[in-house]
Structure 1
C-alpha cells in the first residue's frame, strides 16, 4: 500500500531570527549567534516538535553593515557537531560553498558528521555570489555559469568519494586479522576542469549510505544542478501557482537526468510571525518592523540587485529593477515579484520582508499558519517548508507548541520519530555504492 504524503519541516537557524531586528527584541540575547548553546537549545526545541532537521546558512565573509544585525559567524559543520551530541533524532544540514572549498575536505568532514550522528547529516551546496567573499580567498567573483560548472563538478566528486567504499568493505574480522576488504574500496581518479582527486575517501559509508545533498538555487543553472544531484531543494516560493510550476519543472528535469522525479523533496522558505490573536500578531510584527535599520535594509536590497539603491525614496513604489545576471538571481526575482504583486513601496517591502530578501513571510494565529501550510502541502506547492521564525528561539517554540499540534491533528505531520536516518525521514531510498552497482550489473 502506498504511504500517504507526509509534511516535512526544517528550521533554518538564522542567528537571532529571520527579522534583521531579531537581536534587538527584548527576549533576545545579542550574542546568541556566537553561542553554541543557542543552536543546541533551538535544536532541542525542534526535536521536541518532531521536526525533520535544522538548517544552517553560511556566507564566508563579514558582510557590510554587520554592526547593525546579528549573523551566522560560527562555522556550520563544527556547530552541527555540537548539536549532534545534544540530540538523538533531528537531521543536521549545513551550508558549504562549492566556490571556496575543496571536495575531499568537505567529503571527509560531512562523512565524519554522518557517522558521528548515526546518519542524520545533509550538506547544502551553494555557489557563492559575493565579491567580498571572493576577496577573502584571493579570487575575483566568478561568473555565474562558471560557478555552477565548478559546483557541478564539486558535487560529482563528493558523490564519488562517498561511494568509494562499498557497504561491506569494513570487515573488522579479528579471527582472520582482516580489518578491510581492499577490493571493495576504490580510487576515484577524478580528473576534471576544476579538480583532480585520486581517492578513495578515508572513511566507510554511514547508515544512510551518504549524506543527503541539498541545493538552494532557482536559476536555470541551479535547477539543472538540483535535478542532477539534489535530494532536497530549499526554494523561494511567494505564490502557490509559481511554486507548483517550479516543482513541476524540477521534477521534469530530474526525470530527464534518469532519476526518479519523486526522489527530490521541495522545501520553500517560510518565515513565521505568530500570536495568539490577530491583534497580538500585528503588534509583534509592528514592534519588530520598527527596529529594522532602514539603511541596512536598503543596502541589502541593493546587494540583491547588484546596484546601489540608497537614492530610492522609501515611500515611493519599489522600482522595476533588472534581474542581475551574475548575482543572487533567485532572490532578486522573488523580491521583485513580491513587490509587484503587493504594489509595495520600498519601506513597505522592507517591513513585509522583515528587512530580509525574497522569502515568503506569514503573520497569523497558529490556526491561520497551520491552514496556510496545509493548503500549500495539499495543493502540491510544497513537500514541506524550511521554517524561519521571526525571533529565535521563542518564535520556534511558539510554532512547536501551537502550530505542530494542529498539523498533527490534521494528519499531515508525524507524532513521533519512526525513521533512523535523515534520508529515511525524507522518504528517500538508500543509495548503493556506484561501484557495488557496477559490479552487480556486470555479474
Structure 2
C-alpha cells in the first residue's frame, strides 16, 4: 500500500491508547467497554490508520495497575505482542512499541524487537522508556523507583548493550544455502558486556538482516531524557502545548545532537496532538464537553496529583489554581510535564476543575478543537515555524477519532 500523498515534511504516527486518549473514552456511548482486550479493536485501528495515510502506530505501556483501578480501565496488553498481531494485517505502517529499560534484560529486548522486525518486514520500532511508577518498582522487587539520573544511566547501559547485540551481526551474511549446507558466512562474534542489568556473554540468536536495526523513539523531556534522546533516538515524542516552547525544545534537541556527534536531521521531533475535530467548531467543542462530563473528578485529581507531586485535597475546584511552578518539588515521576501543566494553568488562569478537564483531554499535549481546516492549519503552523517535524496524533476516541481525522483533516494536509 502506498502512503497517500501528503506534505513530505509531516510525519504522522497514530498513538493508540486503549479506548482513546481521553480519560473518559471508555465511558463514551457506543464504545464497547472491553474493546482494547480484543484483537478486532486493534485491527480496526490499524486498518484505518494505514488507509488514512499515517506513517506509523505508536503504543505506550505501563507495567502496573494505575491508581483507582476499580474506577478506570487498568488492564493493558503487551504492546509488542499487539504489534506482532498487527504486522500481518498492515503493509506500510511503522510499528513502534514501548518497552522499559528498567525491567527488561538487553538480550530479551534485542531479540523481541528483531522478532517484530522480521514479522513486519522491517517496520519495527522501540519506544524507549525508563518507567516511573513506584508500583512498577515494587512489582520487580525494588524498594523504590530510582531518581531520574540513575534510571537514565541504566537506560544508557541497556540501549548500548542492545545495539551491541544487533551490530555484532555486522559482516555476517545469511547464506541459507541448502546445496552447500551453509547457513551463515561465519559465526557472529560473542558479546561480553556487564552493567546494572547484569552480564552478557555470548551471541544473539537472530540477525537484523536484511532490514537493519529497528527505529528508536524516546519520550523523556527532562535534561537527562533530552541528552539521551540526542544520543540515540530517531524520533522524539514530546509534550508541548505552546509553539514557542516547542520551538525551544526542538532547537535544544538539535544542539544536543550536534554535541553528541550526530546530525540534527537524523532526529524527528514529534509533539503529541489531541484533535477534537468535526464539521463545525461548535460540534467539536460539544464532543469535548460530552467527554468532560463523563470524567470521574476523584479519579482525575488523583492522577493529576501523581503527575504534579502536589496535594490537591481541600482546594475549591472552581477557584484559580493556587500553585505556581515554584511550588513544585523534585518529582521523579514526571517533573517536566508537571511544570508544563502548572505553567499552562497560570497563563490561562485556569481553575483546578478546568485544569483537571484539560489534563483528562490531553495530559498536557497540544489540544486542538475545531474543524479539519483548523487542525491542519495549526499543524502546518508548527511545522513551518520549526516547532515540529510531524505529530503523534492521539485520537480521543478509537477508532472513530482516526476516522474523523481521515475525513476532516487529511484532505487539508494533502497536496
Q: Same fold (TM over 0.5)?
A: yes
Deviation for aligned residue 1:312: 2.3
Q: Return the offset for 1:38.
A: 0.8
Q: How far is 1:176 from its partner?
A: 2.6
Give the deviation of 1:372 after TM superposition: 0.5
Pair 1:218 & 2:217 matched: no
Partners of 1:59 and 1:187 lie apart in 2 by: 33
Q: How does 1:399-418 map to 2 (within 5 A)?
A: 399-409=405-415
Corresponding residue number in structure 2 for 1:368 = 374
Which digits, 9 at most, give the CA deviation of each residue in 1:265-290, with x for residues without a partner?
Answer: 10011111111111111211111110
Counterpart contact for 1:127–1:148, Cα < 8 Å: yes
CA contact (8 A) 2:371 2:408 kept: no
Q: Distance in 1 between matches of 2:386 and 2:309?
A: 33
* Equivalent in the alignment of 1:422: none
Q: Give the match for residue 79 of structure 1.
A: 82
Equivalent residue in structure 1 for 2:49, among 46, 49, 57: 46
- Deviation per CA, 1:218-277: give whole Å up to 9, x if none: 001001110111111101111111111111111111111111111011001111111111
**TM-aligned CA deviation for residue 356 of structure 1:** 4.9
Q: Aligned match of 2:126 in 116, 123, 128?
A: 123
Deviation at 1:166, TM superposition (A): 1.9
| Structure 2: distance between partners of 1:359 and 1:215 | 16
Return 5+ residue gaps in structure 2 as ranges. Answer: 1-6
Which digits, 9 at most, give the CA deviation of each residue in 1:405-435, with x for residues without a partner? 21013xxxxxxxxxxxxxxxxxxxxxxxxxx
Show the counterpart of 1:160: 164
* Cα distance per residue 1:9-39 (max 9 Å; x no partner): 0011011111111111113111012112111
Structure-2 separation of matches of 1:209 and 1:306: 41
In 1, Cα distance between equivalents of 2:359 and 2:67: 19
Q: CA offset at residue 384 of structure 1?
A: 0.5
Q: Is the 8 A contact 1:299 1:308 kept in 2?
A: no
- Corresponding residue for residue 385 of structure 1: 391
1:256 to 254, 259, 266: 259
Question: Hey, what's the Cα distance between the residues in 2 that align with 1:218 and 1:72?
Answer: 26
State the distance in 2 between where 1:98 and 1:250 align. Answer: 21
Partner of 1:296: 299
CA distance in structure 2 between the partners assigned to 1:305 and 1:109 by the alignment: 34
Q: Secondary structure at the match of 1:123?
A: strand
Choose 150-159 or 185-194, whichever is displaced more: 185-194
Pairing partner for 2:365 from 338, 344, 359: 359
- Match of 2:290, SS state, is helix
SS in 1 for 2:202: coil
User: Cα offset for 1:95?
Assistant: 0.6
How do 1:260-279 and structure 2 match up within 5 A?
Answer: 260-279=263-282
Q: Is the 8 A contact 1:237 1:359 kept in 2?
A: yes
Task: State which of 9, 23, 45 in structure 2 corresponds to 1:6.
Answer: 9
- Structure 1 Cα separation of the partners of residues 379 and 140 of structure 2: 41
- Contact kept, 8 Å, 1:111 with 1:206, in 2: the verdict is no
TM-score (norm 1): 0.88
Q: Distance in 1 between matches of 2:38 and 2:115?
A: 23
> Are the counterparts in 1 of residues 127 and 218 from structure 2 also a CA contact under 8 Å?
yes
Q: CA deviation at 1:189?
A: 1.0
Q: 5+ unaligned residues in a row in structure 1: which ranges? A: 410-443
Query: Taking structure 1 as reference, are residues 171 and 48 closer, same or farther at Cα in structure 2, changes over 3 Å only?
Result: same
The 5-angstrom pairing of residues 319-330 of structure 1 reads: 319-320=323-324, 321-330=327-336
Picking from 228, 242, 256, the partner of 2:231 is 228
Q: Do 2:237 and 2:270's aligned partners in 1 also have CA atoms closer than 8 Å?
A: yes
* Superposition map of 1:343-358 within 5 A: 343-354=349-360, 356-358=362-364
Question: Do the aligned partners of residues 168 and 188 (structure 1) sit closer, same or farther apart at CA in structure 2, a change above 3 Å counting?
Answer: closer
Mapped partners of 1:264, 1:301: distance in 2: 31
Deviations 1:325-368 (A, max 9, x none): 42211221221122122111111112223355221211111110
Paired position in structure 1 for 2:346: 340
Determine whether 1:106 maps to 2:88: no
How far apart are the structure 2 equivalents of 1:72 and 1:403?
A: 31
The residue aligned with 1:413 is none
Q: In 1, are the aligned partners of 2:279 and 2:408 still within 8 Å (CA)?
A: no
Alpha-carbon spacing, 1:166–1:397, altered in 2? closer, same or farther (3 Å): same
In 1, the alpha carbon distance for the partners of 2:373 and 2:51 equals 20
Cα 1:361–1:323 shift into 2, 3 Å? farther
Out of 133, 141, 144, the position equivalent to 2:145 is: 141
Partner Cα distance (1:71, 1:212) in 2: 28
Which whole-Å CA distance do the structure 1 matches of 2:175 and 2:314 have between them? 67
